[in-house]
Amino acid sequence: MESATHRSPDEVLDDHLRESKHGSIEDDLARNYAEELIVLTARGVVRGHDGLRQLAQRLSDELPDATFEYTARVVEGELGFLEWSARGRGAEVKDGADSYLIRDGRIVAQTIHYTVIPSHG
């Protein structure tokens, strides 16, 4: 694989989305995220790979067996934006929105927003 610093923000975001849908969080962290990562959410700030692992586990707990749909993806320079929805066992998200700051082939900062809606039936 090409070194991380030679990948464009577009390539990093594409790889992250592939790993999010079909891969492992550990591979995603190793290839696409800086160790000093900062993530902002409505619930507060998390830092580093351990913080992102906790957020991924929370999302998995809130949306068991989820399938995701990416409805918008935009990259401009170092900035990326993703709009998404998801459906899991007993819940769904219609308003997912993440933003990314990608430098030297790694995501160094991210924001995450979504609302979990219990589904009936």
Q: Which string of DSSP letters, residue by residue, matches 58-117? A: HHHHHSTT-EEEEEEEEEETTEEEEEEEEEETTEEEEEEEEEEEEETTEEEEEEEE--EE
pLDDT in tens, 48-62: 999 999 999 999 999
pLDDT in tens, 61-79: 999 999 999 999 999 999 9
Listed range (3-7, 18-22, 46-50, 95-99) with the worst mean pLDDT: 3-7
Q: Which CATH architecture has domain 4-118?
A: Roll (3.10)
Average pLDDT, the chain: 94
Whole-model pTM: value is 0.91
Helix, strand and coil percent figures for the chain, each rounded to 5: 35, 45, 20
